[in-house]
Structure 1
Amino acid sequence: MSQQHPIIAVTGSSGAGTTTTSLAFRKIFQQLQIKAASLEGDSFHRYTRPEMDMAIRKAKDLGRHISYFGPEANDFSLLEQAFIEYGRNGTGKTRKYLHIYDEAIPYNQVPGTFTPWEPMQHPTDMLFYEGLHGAVVTDQYDVAQHVDLLVGVVPIVNLEWIQKLVRDINERGHSREAVMDSVVRSMEDYITYITPQFSRTHINFQRVPTIDTSNPFAAKAIPSLDESFVVIHFQGVEHIDYPYLLAMLQGSFISHINTLVVPGGKMGLAMELIMAPLVKRLAEGRSAG
């Protein structure tokens, strides 16, 4: 961790709500006049999409599994070094993984490839990371220890599967069978590397549908925010003004110690109200350092 160069990491699967979280943080940065460097977790994939497809086939032939959740497909060492470098010097490099044609066309590339590494903007006030592994810890690497504010965004698992199915079928052109195979193939890495992160985060936002998702693989659409509640759990975070949040977020309630529940449609607003004081505190600590 670094007082002069703080790092904020939002960790969660693609489609879990990290986009809503990113928008909330960007709004906060703008309001507080904070210049934040940006780092995408997908930048640390080891393989392009064709390379990953080949790695999956080779692993399957050997009776093994490989997924985007685990270390075989991601460079945890490079991610940890990126956090260390920013924490020390406020510098680093960034690139993009281009998921779809709309992202790839401006770079004159094809989907499933990377843009070249290039220097981050400099100087900046703090680093904002969004991706799968902002709080990952293994026997060799401890990414979580370098982060000043860790935020988890995770739906219940049935909802996560629905979001993956609908996104990968409708936006990425995969078959239902291919997506279900991916879910099965990823399960060991998900349990080993993804879920433990949410015990290390300072705040978790967990979306819970209020409609039947008993069979996620038969779903045709993703439950909307208005068809959900968001369970917000705080751990190791001081000075959370619960009465203020309850007053500002209509329909919210306290369900457990350090746990606030808000209507799904209030998720973005809840994030802004909760995060703004925490980001401001990081910025003030930087100025005082």
Structure 2
Amino acid sequence: MSTKHPIVAITGSSGAGTTTITRAFQHIFRRENVNAAIIEGDSFHAYDRLQMRQKLKEAEAAGEHSFSHFGPSGNLFEELAQLFAAYGERGTGRCRKYLHDEVEGAEYGQAPGTFTPWADLQEGTDLLFYEGLHGAVVTDRVNVAQHADLLVGVVPTINLEWIQKLHRDQNLRGYSQEAVVDTILRRMPDYVSYICPQFSRTHVNVQRVPVVDTSNPFIARDIPSLDESMLVIRFADPKGIDFPYLLSMLHGSFMSRPNTIVCPGGKMGLAVQLIFTPMILRLMSNRRQALL
């Protein structure tokens, strides 16, 4: 953790609304004139797309059926921890970018599914903003979570996560349902060991819960929308949270526990801005005081 060079980490997986939440944070940064260094978690995968396919084949041939992007074997946890530590100390660090598609690849003159070269972050940024799978990961070798000043968990219910993956991989990537189910099962040990525990270390969790039937995710025809969901927002430390204000601003919301507010899923972007704007402003105020 660092007062002069704060780190905000959004940790979550597909189907929860990480894109909506990241966009809401970008609105906060733009409105409050915060110069943020944006880091994507995919940048710290251990292998590019072709290498990962080869590693999967090798793992299966060796009888290893739990090799995945969710665990340490498929990621560079040490390098991620080094980036967080370096940014907290000096406001810089080394990173790269994973090129997801043809558009991103063309921008850098590289094939999609590859990484750009490692490079130093631009100097002079106000904070580091990470969005990915492992912003709060802890293993017997590294502790990424200890470096973050604000940790936000973003997670769907497990059936919703599976529906999201099934639809994306079948419709956009051309995989069979059997192949997608195999991936889900292969990832499960790492999901249990490295993804779930992070949400006990976060300062705020945002969980998307569908209010339509998702009891059998393998036959779902559509991905439940935000308007077909409720958000369960849990604060690890509710001290200082203005719950009456949030309830008044988020129509249809209520409190289910003293540290938990529930609101309509369609209010996700607004809820994020209402909740996290004061927190970002507090980080920036503390940063200015520390730099005097």
- Fold-level match, TM-score > 0.5? yes
**Which residue matches 2:21?**
21
Letter of the aligned partner of 2:48 in structure 1? T
**Which residue matches 1:63?**
63
3-state SS of the aligned residue for 2:59? helix
**Which residue matches 2:138?**
137
**Which residue matches 2:224?**
223
Letter of the aligned partner of 1:109 in structure 2? Q
3-state SS of the aligned residue for 1:239? coil
- Whether the aligned pair in 1 keeps the contact of 2:157 and 2:208 (CA below 8 Å) is yes
* Structure 1 outlier segments of 4+, above 3 Å: none
Q: Distance between the aligned counterparts of 1:241 and 1:58, measured in 2?
A: 53
TM-score, with structure 2 as normaliser: 0.96
3-state SS of the aligned residue for 1:66? coil
3-state SS of the aligned residue for 2:16? coil
Q: Please state how far the C-alpha of 1:102 moved relative to its aligned partner.
A: 3.0
**Which residue matches 1:74?**
75
Q: Distance between the aligned counterparts of 1:122 and 1:151, measured in 2?
A: 25
**Which residue matches 1:11?**
11
Q: Distance between the aligned counterparts of 2:265 and 2:63, measured in 1?
A: 41
Q: Distance between the aligned counterparts of 1:269 and 1:104, measured in 2?
A: 33
- Whether the aligned pair in 2 keeps the contact of 1:158 and 1:216 (CA below 8 Å) is yes
3-state SS of the aligned residue for 2:143? coil
1:278–1:142 Cα change, 3 Å: same
Letter of the aligned partner of 1:75 in structure 2? L
**Mapping of residues 195-214 of structure 1, within 5 Å:** 195-214=196-215
- Whether the aligned pair in 1 keeps the contact of 2:8 and 2:148 (CA below 8 Å) is yes
- Whether the aligned pair in 1 keeps the contact of 2:15 and 2:160 (CA below 8 Å) is no
Q: Please state how far the C-alpha of 1:175 moved relative to its aligned partner.
A: 2.3
Instruction: Say if 2:116 is the partner of 1:115.
Output: yes
3-state SS of the aligned residue for 1:11? strand
Q: Distance between the aligned counterparts of 2:39 and 2:237, measured in 1?
A: 25
- Whether the aligned pair in 2 keeps the contact of 1:155 and 1:207 (CA below 8 Å) is yes
3-state SS of the aligned residue for 2:128? strand
Q: Distance between the aligned counterparts of 1:106 and 1:168, measured in 2?
A: 25
Query: How many residues are paired up?
Result: 289
**Mapping of residues 1-289 of structure 1, within 5 Å:** 1-64=1-64, 65-289=66-290
Q: Distance between the aligned counterparts of 1:97 and 1:215, measured in 2?
A: 33
- Whether the aligned pair in 1 keeps the contact of 2:212 and 2:228 (CA below 8 Å) is yes
Letter of the aligned partner of 2:36 in structure 1? A
TM-score, with structure 1 as normaliser: 0.97
1:256–1:237 Cα change, 3 Å: closer
Q: Please state how far the C-alpha of 1:237 moved relative to its aligned partner.
A: 4.9
- Whether the aligned pair in 2 keeps the contact of 1:6 and 1:282 (CA below 8 Å) is yes
- Whether the aligned pair in 1 keeps the contact of 2:43 and 2:96 (CA below 8 Å) is yes
Q: What is the aligned-residue RMSD (CA, Å)?
A: 1.1
Q: Which moved more, 1:77-86 or 1:58-67?
A: 58-67
Q: Which whole-Å deviations, capped at 9, do the CAs of 1:25-65 have from their partners, x for residues lacking one?
A: 11111111110111111111110111111111111112112
Q: Please state how far the C-alpha of 1:274 moved relative to its aligned partner.
A: 0.0
> Which ranges of structure 2 fall in alignment gaps of 5 or more residues?
none
Q: Please state how far the C-alpha of 1:220 moved relative to its aligned partner.
A: 2.2
Q: Please state how far the C-alpha of 1:238 moved relative to its aligned partner.
A: 3.1
Q: Distance between the aligned counterparts of 2:88 and 2:40, measured in 1?
A: 17
